[in-house]
Chain A
């Protein structure tokens, strides 16, 4: 089994691409750079496929398949190896990452054709692929953390790709730092796990964790704390409340980047980690609840913001945040496979949407404000069609991918027994409402861009369809986001959901809730819930249609009438302002005025110099005694005489500290 034996090939190829392009690409023509970058990713995609083939030949006890290559860190009883691991979950991620990644590489060749720093872009992109693959292939938390930080770095570089723009540089920095805050939690989580289990290798660790008894709800046991810490990291990476703030800004990066990193792959790493650590989470209901609630809240929250954004990419960004919330909701209610399923489908259609948006922007010559578009449907038909597909998918219109994944999430939310049924129902309701909002703002987007009259002046903007290199990926992704969901389709006519089946060995291992219980109840509820979901989606569609096609004026008047709400949403609930006022500025002020100027300069250094000053003053005094007058000198001699005589004759004038025995 060539590939499974040499798993390292898969991540290494992009790394090679990155190195070659990064070091030598400076002077090369785009063609060569393309071929290197695309070749590298393409090959690793093929390798991934081969890995899948070989994987199916493995006997079940060979799974998870772990290869230890070399040990990377060793100290005392701690060892972190460069160990790669393959199981069903990994495979899914592997395919998504390499596949989508490859498509987006192809797309980028067209999109970035006229940008400066072409080689840099692809080098970064490949670098990202490398780290992302490390992340999904890692067989222990530490190696996973490598990928984790690495993708952060790549995203930092790519967001700041236009580093001449301050906003871009800021956004990159923000992304990295906010992620670091998450990583802080993630690291502590790792430490705690190591302290508890003495290892950080997934297999060993989970084997040890499985027999443990689940901790009671609301009780902060080791596992709960560890899970919460891990989730903190996940929240950072996957832009959940309260750490989501970086993702919208991250749209400063080139659109393909947004598609690849900030929609399809990197941001889902958090979900992947939670799914990967499901064994631990199953033992920590409290943590599960937190995950579910946070996910749900994020979904809703981001959706509301998405309603009023006018920047096409911002809308998509918030929708991404919202969809990620869905995935966490799924994980939170124990439906890990559903979460991962949504992760996959989302990867398809969100990548599609972003790329389409990119194509639109490309067509509009860089324009991103939807209010300055409109009526493009005929001018750029392909883009229109693909984007519509994506929208339908995300809105959850059957039989597109989004429908199935979202449906199973809602179902599981509804069914979740985790902390009493009504909690589950609340989550369900919120999820449903989010679905409504989602379809509303997505169609709003469609209508604003493609329908109505042109709101731009023809003379400056020459709308033109994008090149093949961009359209083909769009097409492929469109197809995927149609059929991508059918894996789960059989669930409806009584058969079981293939995707869940496929992942079962991973998730069902610790007797996860979904397998047994859901199956039975599911069939009863499957259809009604699905219908409700579809109706909500349609409702959203109609609302959008009414507001933005039938009578566009209405929307503005609406905005006016609910000014407060509108402004709040427009300014994203003023969260950024809040953070900068509560965290950033105080910290800077504290550091400057208290720590640096006061403590360092005034107190400590002041003390040091003060002592010096004092001694100097005393020294000057001593010098003054040297008056040059012989008579005074004589008196000094007498003084000395008296001192000596006194010390010798009267014991009690002797220094106290004379002798320390």
Chain B
């Protein structure tokens, strides 16, 4: 059992634990925090796989920007403990059961099926950030440009929906 493996399992446990706590936390703010835990753990895993850039972005954009946004909104709406209603019959036991079934199935299939990808991964000769930039700005320039519009739309949406006063 090598060190990396131990680290992996620790991080994995952290991620899963965070996810679980996201589920079981009553207060959204706690959920948010547990989500951040997950993200950090994932960042760790990225590092473990040698994808530094992604890991960085994960921390900065996700853990930083997005989650902050979440927390901010939670505060803004000062959301309290979520009330525990059960209007949906379906979303009760059967729903959870089905979800478990799906998860189990997907996980099982993947576990059996990842033979197509190489069994082990070796760090080191992982793509450098240069290659990344090449990729983004040459091969994927089109979607990249599109994402700019996407963000534009997001901004627009935020303005349209969240602004308070309706124009004359």
Does chain A bind chain B?
A: yes
Q: Are A642 and B91 in contact (CB under 8 A)?
A: no
Q: Are B90 and A631 in contact (CB under 8 A)?
A: yes
Q: Are B102 and A634 in contact (CB under 8 A)?
A: no
From residue 85 to 118 of chain B, which have CB atoms closer than 8 A to chain A? Answer: 87-91, 94-95, 98-99, 101-102, 105, 109
Residues of A contacting B87 in the complex (Cβ-Cβ under 8 angstroms): 627, 629
User: Which of B88, B99, B109 contacts A638, CB < 8 Å?
Assistant: B99
Q: Are B101 and A635 in contact (CB under 8 A)?
A: no
Residues of B contacting A645 in the complex (Cβ-Cβ under 8 angstroms): 102, 105
Q: Are A639 and B88 in contact (CB under 8 A)?
A: no
Q: Are B98 and A639 in contact (CB under 8 A)?
A: yes
Is A35 among interface residues, defined by CB-CB distance under 8 A? no
Q: Are B95 and A635 in contact (CB under 8 A)?
A: yes
Is A216 among interface residues, defined by CB-CB distance under 8 A? no
Q: Are B88 and A627 in contact (CB under 8 A)?
A: yes
Q: Are A629 and B102 in contact (CB under 8 A)?
A: no
Q: A635 with B105: in contact, given A627-B88, A629-B87, A629-B88 (CB under 8 Å)? A: no
A293 CA to B147 CA, complexed, in Å: 109
Residue of A627, A631, A634, A638 with most partner-chain B CB within 10 A: A638
A642 CA to B90 CA, complexed, in Å: 15
Nearest CB to that of B95 among chain A residues?
A: A635
Q: How far is the CB of A539 from chain B (nearest CB, A)?
A: 102
Q: Are A632 and B90 in contact (CB under 8 A)?
A: yes
Q: Are A635 and B91 in contact (CB under 8 A)?
A: yes
Nearest CB to that of A629 among chain B residues?
A: B88
Q: How far is the CB of A627 from chain B (nearest CB, A)?
A: 7
Q: Are B102 and A638 in contact (CB under 8 A)?
A: yes
From residue 625 to 644 of chain A, which have CB atoms closer than 8 A to chain B? Answer: 627, 629, 631-632, 634-636, 638-639, 641-642
A635 CA to B93 CA, complexed, in Å: 11
Q: A629 with B91: in contact, given A635-B98, A638-B98, A638-B99 (CB under 8 Å)? A: yes
Give a binary string over A337-349; 1 marks a CB under 8 Å from any B CB, 0 the rest.
0000000000000
Give a binary string over B107-136; 1 marks a CB under 8 Å from any A CB, 0 the rest.
001000000000000000000000000000
Q: Are B102 and A631 in contact (CB under 8 A)?
A: no
Q: Are A632 and B105 in contact (CB under 8 A)?
A: no
A318 CA to B73 CA, complexed, in Å: 111
Q: How far is the CB of B102 from chain A (nearest CB, A)?
A: 6
A641 CA to B98 CA, complexed, in Å: 10
* Chain B binding surface SS class: helix
Residues of B contacting A634 in the complex (Cβ-Cβ under 8 angstroms): 91, 95
User: Which of A627, A638, A641, A649 contacts B95, CB < 8 Å?
Assistant: A638
Q: How far is the CB of B114 from chain A (nearest CB, A)?
A: 17
A635 CA to B90 CA, complexed, in Å: 7
Q: Are A642 and B101 in contact (CB under 8 A)?
A: yes
A634 CA to B94 CA, complexed, in Å: 12
Q: How far is the CB of A176 from chain B (nearest CB, A)?
A: 71
Q: Are B88 and A641 in contact (CB under 8 A)?
A: no
A638 CA to B97 CA, complexed, in Å: 10
A627 CA to B88 CA, complexed, in Å: 8
Residues of B contacting A631 in the complex (Cβ-Cβ under 8 angstroms): 88, 90-91, 95
Residues of A contacting B90 in the complex (Cβ-Cβ under 8 angstroms): 627, 629, 631-632, 635-636
From residue 238 to 294 of chain A, which have CB atoms closer than 8 A to chain B? Answer: none
Q: Are A642 and B102 in contact (CB under 8 A)?
A: yes
Q: Are B98 and A642 in contact (CB under 8 A)?
A: yes
Q: A635 with B102: in contact, given A627-B88, A629-B87, A629-B88 (CB under 8 Å)? A: no
A645 CA to B107 CA, complexed, in Å: 13
A386 CA to B76 CA, complexed, in Å: 127
Residues of A contacting B98 in the complex (Cβ-Cβ under 8 angstroms): 635, 638-639, 642
From residue 602 to 661 of chain A, which have CB atoms closer than 8 A to chain B? Answer: 627, 629, 631-632, 634-636, 638-639, 641-642, 645, 649
Residues of B contacting A642 in the complex (Cβ-Cβ under 8 angstroms): 98, 101-102, 105
Q: Are B101 and A632 in contact (CB under 8 A)?
A: no
Q: How far is the CB of B88 from chain A (nearest CB, A)?
A: 4
A641 CA to B94 CA, complexed, in Å: 15
Residues of B contacting A639 in the complex (Cβ-Cβ under 8 angstroms): 98
A641 CA to B91 CA, complexed, in Å: 15
Nearest CB to that of B101 among chain A residues?
A: A642
Residues of A contacting B95 in the complex (Cβ-Cβ under 8 angstroms): 631-632, 634-635, 638
Q: How far is the CB of B84 from chain A (nearest CB, A)?
A: 12
A228 CA to B109 CA, complexed, in Å: 86
A638 CA to B94 CA, complexed, in Å: 11
Q: Are A632 and B88 in contact (CB under 8 A)?
A: yes
Give a binary string over B23-57; 1 marks a CB under 8 Å from any A CB, 0 the rest.
00000000000000000000000000000000000
A638 CA to B95 CA, complexed, in Å: 8
Q: Are B102 and A632 in contact (CB under 8 A)?
A: no
A632 CA to B102 CA, complexed, in Å: 16
Q: How far is the CB of A107 from chain B (nearest CB, A)?
A: 95
A634 CA to B95 CA, complexed, in Å: 9
A593 CA to B129 CA, complexed, in Å: 90
Nearest CB to that of A630 among chain B residues?
A: B88
Residues of A contacting B89 in the complex (Cβ-Cβ under 8 angstroms): 632
Q: How far is the CB of A629 from chain B (nearest CB, A)?
A: 4
Residues of A contacting B101 in the complex (Cβ-Cβ under 8 angstroms): 642
A360 CA to B91 CA, complexed, in Å: 101
A635 CA to B128 CA, complexed, in Å: 42
Nearest CB to that of A636 among chain B residues?
A: B90
Q: How far is the CB of B129 from chain A (nearest CB, A)?
A: 37
Residue of A635, A636, A649 with most partner-chain B CB within 10 A: A635
User: Which of B91, B99, B109 contacts A632, CB < 8 Å?
Assistant: B91
Residues of A contacting B88 in the complex (Cβ-Cβ under 8 angstroms): 627, 629, 631-632, 635
A283 CA to B89 CA, complexed, in Å: 88
A641 CA to B106 CA, complexed, in Å: 11
Residues of B contacting A638 in the complex (Cβ-Cβ under 8 angstroms): 95, 98-99, 102
Complex A-B: 8 CB contacts under 8 Å: A627-B87, A632-B89, A632-B95, A634-B91, A635-B88, A635-B90, A635-B99, A638-B95
| 5 cross-chain pairs, A with B, having the tightest CB-CB distances, nearest first | A631-B91, A635-B95, A632-B90, A629-B88, A632-B88
12 additional A-B residue pairs with CB within 8 Å, beyond A635-B94, A638-B95, A649-B109:
A627-B87, A629-B87, A629-B90, A631-B88, A631-B90, A634-B91, A635-B98, A635-B99, A638-B98, A638-B102, A645-B102, A645-B105
